[in-house]
Amino acid sequence: MKVFGISGSPRLGGTHYAVNYALDYLKEKGCETRYFSVRGKDIRFCLHCDYCVREKKGCIQKDAVQEFFFEGMLWADGVVMGTPCYQGTLSGQLKTMMDRCRALLAMDPHVFNGKVGMGLAVGGDRNGGQDVALNMINSFYVITEMIPVGGGAYGANQGGALWSQDKGSEGVAADEEGLRTLRKTLKRFHSALERKVA
């Protein structure tokens, strides 16, 4: 089972910690993992130039998103997307990478079909937009024919919702309630992966 973990944060902090926490959990379950961080990467906005639609050769822009595509999204059986909450929703960097996936879908509209996806969101406040960010991640999975997995009823409906208290990785590590939501989501994500590859 191959899992691609993505940190949509430009900082090494709470999101970086939470995504790696998830990948460590999945490694212990026997998964092969890869990690991608937007930090310090050249990631350009989608230009909506329609090159990908006309030519069906991928994106005209050659930047770090190529690594995200070919060494991550296409490689993986499952995807863990993590984001900090900016203005009550996901980061611009993660949204840009979602937008750029149009280039892969233009080559094959079913390229992500059946892959399993989960999300985690880290806010500086307990209610800092985590649900909104997770809903956007799950919507991306639905639109691209992936299988979105949340943590189930009773506290982790949409995915892992963590509170950093604006203390970065230290704050997330201390947020036992948030880590509980992440573990609930990871358990269901791993079960879905097992069913997919069986």
Write the CATH number for 184.
3.40.50.360
Give every CB contact of residue 62 below 8 A, 6+ residues apart in sequence: none
User: How far apart are the C-alpha atoms of 13 and 161, rounded to whole Å?
Assistant: 15
Residue 106 CB coordination number (10 Å): 19
The pLDDT of residue 8: 97
* Amino acid, res. 74: L
The pLDDT of residue 111: 96
Model's pTM, two decimal places? 0.96
| Residues of the chain with confidence (pLDDT) below 70 | none
Question: For residue 68, which of 94, 31, 106, 107 has the smallest C-alpha distance?
Answer: 94
Range of the domain at 69: 2-197
Angle 29-14-65 (CA atoms, 0-180°, nearest 5)? 80
- If one counts the domains in the chain, the total is 1
